[in-house]
Each structure stands twice: as structure tokens, then as C-alpha cells.
Structure 1
Amino acid sequence: MKKSYRYITLLALLIWSCSRDKATTPAFEGFVQPAGFPLPVYHLAGNPVTREGFELGRKLFYEPRLSRNNTISCGSCHLQSSAFTHHGHDISHGIDDRLGSRNAPPIMNLAWNTTFMWDGGIFDLDLQPVAPISNFVEMDEKVSNVLEKLKATPPYPELFRKAFGSKDITTATMMKAMSQFMVMVVSDQAKYDSVRRGQTTFTPDESRGYALFQQHCNSCHREPLFTDHSFRNNGIGPGPNNDSGRFAITLKPGDMYAFRVPSLRNLAYTAPYMHDGRFYTLQGVLTHYTSEITDMPTLDPILKTGDKPGIALSATEQQQLLIFLNTLNDKKFITDKRFSQETP
């Protein structure tokens, strides 16, 4: 009788322990479309986000074995504290401290992108990591070598089994895992978002800045993502390396010196600005748009509406616009433990 009682007690403790673990382990929601955002364009049905796939993707994002000499990870040039940009570098530094030719764009709200990179040369998020892995100045590695390194490195085979049902590590499963991490990197918790949700209100200066934004900027930096995903020549002129931008992809003369319209979210964390990082402050950006635009054949027509190329803004209006842009900074995004290198 005593023996049976001990068994019953042990069984009860085991059940309690399991239920307690379940209760303390937060549920994993996967990808959730933010209220007010458009439908994502990433093929989520073909690669649904799971806890196991997301956690594997995060580990791969911070894995230096993706580079030739095992020193550079995606997270080396896309720092969470800088909204996943290479803060402080006008152009990014890669393997062996080699210099690239462009500023690292932020990894943010990529589920709504149809193309990637400053020139839109990649059209599928599942293919995007191949570019930095194989680029001579970034990671300088072959994907086939990366796969072999991962296969030989515990616990990767087991992590792939948990995520995709097989210990076999392939290009497809590696890319899908990384995409599961990247589509989850969503910024939608700025003050602007709280205002849209009716949780707070703008100050008078923020409201005036918002009105100026809608009047002068919203045609390219469309809400709520603050980009229309187009490619435009904004008149900054050719850089030292004469980067032709979108033209190198399409070979269309009208695309000469056209680059992706970047999102205006999290600008406080992502300096310097433009594809080559030539502007170190937002005031420098506004000065460009008000008085320093270079007129050229492919300059975006929106910037040619007046007698002089550019946007007419007084000093006061510029300051109000900057005040509004500060409402797009998402502190929760750059501190979200789900996206950090350390496991939450």
C-alpha cells in the first residue's frame, strides 16, 4: 500500500512539473501582421514560422561560420542596437576588414519587401543571404562550404531536425530558417504606431511635423512602412565609385543613379544615411533636400516641381519635421530579446 502511494505521489509530482513548465514557457505566436500594416508579400504559407525554425534562424544570423575564416556573421554588419544596420560606418566593413561600396541597409519589416539590396538585385528573401555569404568583401565563402561546416558542428544537425524534420542540412532549409528569423524582425512599436492605435497623441510640434511629412514626403516614404519600395534618383549625385544603382540591374537609362527608397523608421539608430552613408546627420539630409540637390536627367520628377530642384522648407519647418521623425523610433525593437544574439 505504501509502495503504491509512493508511485502515485511521484506521478503527481511529474504531472505538476510538466504543467508548471508549460505554464512558464511563453506561447510562440509566429508571424503576426501588425494592425494597420498591409498584407505581407513574403510566402509565409510556404515557410510558416515555427519556434524551432525561428530560433535556428536566429542562431544562423549570428553564426560566424557563414564566413570564410569564421569571423563574420550577418549580425556583424546588422547590429540590433542600430536597428540592424552597421552604425557609424559609411560603408560596411567585411572579412579581413575589406571595405564594401554601400552602407548596410537595415533588416526590418522585410516581410513586405518584393526586392532586396539598395539596387533591388535580389527578388526573394530566401535567396538574399547568398549574396553576403558569397561576396568577396563581405563573407567571401561558398554556400556549399557553409553547409559542410554546419553539418560538422553540433548542435546544428539536431536543430535542423527539430525545425524541418531531418538532420540533413541543405541550402533550402538553411535559407528558410534565416527567412523565418528575418520576417519576424518587425518594427511597429514607435510612438507613431501608438498614435495610430489611439493609445496616445502627438504633441503640437509633432502634429505640425506630421502634416509637413504628409505634404512633402509621403509620396515616396509611404505610411505605415515609410517606403513605397520604389527606386529613385534623389539628386545626391554620383559617389566616389560612381555607383550607378538600379541601372546596373535593369540596364535601363532611366534607372541611372536610382536607389531604393529607404524606410524612415528608426532613423535615430541608423546613421549615417543614403546608400553610401554620405550624410552623418538628419539635418544634413534635410539640407540636401532643401538646397543641395543635383539636377540631372534621371532626377526624380517629384523633386523638380518648383523653379529650383528640391523641397521648400523653412528652418522652423525642418525642425518640426525632425521632431515628427523622432516619433518613428522604436526602442522596443532595438531591445527585443527575441532578436538578440543571447537566447532570451
Structure 2
Amino acid sequence: MLKVLLISSLSILLFYSCRKDFLPNAEGSMTPYSIDYPTVLKNRIPPMVIPSDNPMTVEGVALGRKLFYDKILSGDQTQACASCHSPSTSFVDTARFSIGIDGIAGDRNAMPLINIGWASSYFWDGRSETLEIQALEPVVNPIEMHEQWPNAVARLQASSTYPSLFEKAFNTNIIDSLLVAKALAQFERTLLSGDAPFDKYLRGEPTGYTQAEEIKMIQGYSVFLADAEFGGADCFHCHGDEFNPLFTDNMFHNNGLDEVHTDLGLGKITGNPSDNGKFKTPTLRNLVFTAPYMHDGRFKTLDDVIDHYSFGLKYSATIDPLMKNVGNGGVQLTPENRALLKAFLMSLTDSSYTTNPDFQAP
């Protein structure tokens, strides 16, 4: 779908690379990394597809983790990837718009990094088709790290630690942007979440809830699944269910935010007017940490989001057919069902994700 974008993105990769792409030497010392899939992900969906030219290794993941938290990649060495993707908030920025090194804010909310290894495109508008391509952009983005890759690579190459770390991870101490992106992608593929109360319920384990709370969670899940004509919110089409525990379809939808689209979203990337106003479906996991919500962070609370789908849908030419109740303004959830739906959504909170020692700064 994004063939033209892929070609241009690959050109960017080659432009910023200091040398040709590098495939790890099979005879090298790298240690294969065994991905520890949470049970609910392992049992219900296929494993991530790992690129053949970027296999997961212990050394590569460790290098990516160090790079993720290092401010050396930014123009003035004041920001790292973690500056806008903090582990304490499920790797998201709680500000509506993140501020770059020049004090300039963007116009989109930072997306959380949760179970992103299953996605086939990245950013709200899908402009990067792989994690490796995505990892290149924040460094050169003028409203983010605002640096040129040759400069960032030169600092890494001149450091006392990075050449040896790249040697361990990729069998070369000659650093380039592609290897940096590969290391970052390896680390980001380890950021897995699947130990929320609802996950424990599916595993038949104690949820940590009282009986009354557990009943509300289950009733809320029924609201989540049910069609509006039966008093439900009809959420599962875009956000999955127990058989799609990512709680996102990783696709793009116009969910009735605006009648006129000042931000075209996917449409700006594809050039197809039928894609205007479509944005990537975010995961519903760890919503308690990831406010504000939507691509532009317009909703401060989860109640605001539920109210939008209940009463606030706006019609436009590209409105998703799944927003079939737009003529009524939304699914018209009752106060009781709004509360139950919220209880279910809160049960997707995996607090251990924010404190996992493997995800913290090294």
C-alpha cells in the first residue's frame, strides 16, 4: 500500500548510512536472543516476524537499550529516545505534544511502545514500514533530535565504548546509521506486555481484583464486544479481543474525530483522498499511563474517549464504515455501560511493564 513511501524511505536509509548494509557474520560471537513472550501473546497470536537481516541477539538488544537512553544521538546531546518514550508511562510522553531540542512542539501525540513488533507500519500515519526505518527519523527530525546522521555517527565512533559494543553486536566496529537503527529495533521488539488483570483472568489465575471488580471487568468486556443495538460499544473490530490480545488491528481508520481534516494522516502519505483523516489504531493496553489520547492528544481522560464514541462522532467523507452509528452521534452508551466499559479497559493495565528491569536505562 505504501510502495512509493517504502522506496523513498530506503533512499533515506542509504543516504544516511556511512557504508553498505551489514549482515552479521554467522561465525561471529553474537548470542541468539530468546524472546520471552507473555503467555497471552504466545498462546493466541503467531510470534513476531524478525527481519532476516536483523536477527535478535543478546548483544544487539543490549546495544539498542543503551542507545535508546543515550542523549548522544541528539543535536545538542540533551534528548534521547527515552525522553519522549519513558518506561514509567509505557514508553510514551504524557505531554500532549513532545518538545524537541529547539523547544518546538509537534502536532501529534507520541505513540506508546507496547508490543510493537507485530506492526507492519509505524507512526500515526504509517510512514515507516519497519522498526528499522522508523528508528532513523527522530534523529533527523527538526522538531525532535534535530541532528544529521553523519554527526551522530561520528560521536558514536569517537566514543570510548560504542565501537567495541558494535563489534560485539554486529562483528564490526565501523558504526553507521543502519546498525544504530537495527540495534534500536532489536531492543524495541523486546518491549512486550501481557500481564494485566484481564490477561490473568484469561490464564485462569488470580486477577488481584475483588469479586465485584472482576464481575465488572467481565461485564465491561461484554460491552466492549457487543453491538450498539444491544447496548454495546462495538470496539473489538479495531481493537481486538481475547484472540487478538494486542488490542489493536494495527490498521488505519477515520474514527469520526473531525468533519474537516486539517491533518490528513494516512492520506498525506499515500496521496489517496480516501485515506484522509485515517490514523493508526493504538493499543488499548496500559491506557491508565498513556493519556492524553488520539493522534493529537485532544482527549485528556478515558471518560472523554468513551464519550466521543458514545455521543461525539462526526461525519466526513472518509468516515470508517465501522463507525456505523455516526448518524446518531455514536453508540449512545448508557452511564452504566460507560462505567462497565471503563472498568474493562482499566483491566488491561500491566503495571509490571513500567517497572520491568530489562526495560530500564542500563
| Same fold (TM > 0.5) | yes
1:171, distance to aligned residue in structure 2 (A): 2.1
AA aligned opposite 1:217 = C
- Whose Rg is larger? 1
Quick one: which of 207, 229, 239 aligns to 1:221?
239
Q: TM-score, normalised by structure 1?
A: 0.87
Contact persistence 1:238–1:257 (CA under 8 A): no
1:43, distance to aligned residue in structure 2 (A): 2.3
Aligned counterparts, 1:183-198, within 5 A: 183-198=189-204
- Alignment partners' CA distance in 2, 1:230 and 1:258: 9
* Counterpart residue number, 2:77: 70
1:44, distance to aligned residue in structure 2 (A): 4.6
Aligned counterparts, 1:242-321, within 5 A: 242-305=262-325, 307-321=327-341
Larger deviation, residues 140-149 vs 39-48: 39-48
1:306, distance to aligned residue in structure 2 (A): 6.8
1:284-313 CA distance string (max 9 Å, x none):
111111111111111111112475141121
Contact persistence 2:263–2:277 (CA under 8 A): yes
1:233-270 CA distance string (max 9 Å, x none):
1111179x921111001111111111011100000000
Contact persistence 1:290–1:313 (CA under 8 A): yes
**Aligned with 2:46: secondary structure?**
coil
* Counterpart residue number, 1:31: 35
Aligned counterparts, 1:42-191, within 5 A: 42-87=49-94, 89-191=95-197
**Aligned with 1:220: secondary structure?**
helix
- Alignment partners' CA distance in 2, 1:130 and 1:168: 18
* Counterpart residue number, 1:6: none
1:18-59 CA distance string (max 9 Å, x none):
xxxxxxxxx995323442242244425432222211111001
AA aligned opposite 1:329 = T
Which consecutive residues of structure 1, in runs of 5 or more, have no partner in the other structure?
1-26
Contact persistence 2:259–2:315 (CA under 8 A): no
Quick one: which of 213, 218, 236 aligns to 2:257?
236
- Alignment partners' CA distance in 1, 2:179 and 2:300: 39
Aligned pair in 2 of structure 1 residues 237, 58: CA closer, same or farther (>3 Å)?
Answer: same
Contact persistence 2:315–2:326 (CA under 8 A): no
**Aligned with 2:108: secondary structure?**
coil
1:200, distance to aligned residue in structure 2 (A): 3.1
- Alignment partners' CA distance in 2, 1:177 and 1:31: 15
Identity of aligned residues (%): 38
Aligned pair in 2 of structure 1 residues 96, 112: CA closer, same or farther (>3 Å)?
Answer: same
- Alignment partners' CA distance in 1, 2:74 and 2:259: 31
* 4+ residue segments displaced more than 6 Å: none
Contact persistence 1:91–1:100 (CA under 8 A): yes
> Cα RMSD between the aligned structures?
1.8
1:67, distance to aligned residue in structure 2 (A): 0.8
1:34-92 CA distance string (max 9 Å, x none):
422422444254322222111110010011111111111100000111100001x1111
Larger deviation, residues 61-70 vs 262-271: 61-70
- Alignment partners' CA distance in 2, 1:61 and 1:211: 39
**Aligned with 2:189: secondary structure?**
helix
Contact persistence 2:286–2:349 (CA under 8 A): yes
Contact persistence 1:41–1:114 (CA under 8 A): no
Contact persistence 2:90–2:353 (CA under 8 A): yes
**Aligned with 1:210: secondary structure?**
helix
- Alignment partners' CA distance in 1, 2:196 and 2:55: 26
1:115, distance to aligned residue in structure 2 (A): 0.1
Which consecutive residues of structure 2, in runs of 5 or more, have no partner in the other structure?
1-30, 208-212, 227-233
Q: TM-score, normalised by structure 2?
A: 0.83
Contact persistence 1:30–1:184 (CA under 8 A): no
- Alignment partners' CA distance in 2, 1:104 and 1:248: 18
AA aligned opposite 1:213 = F
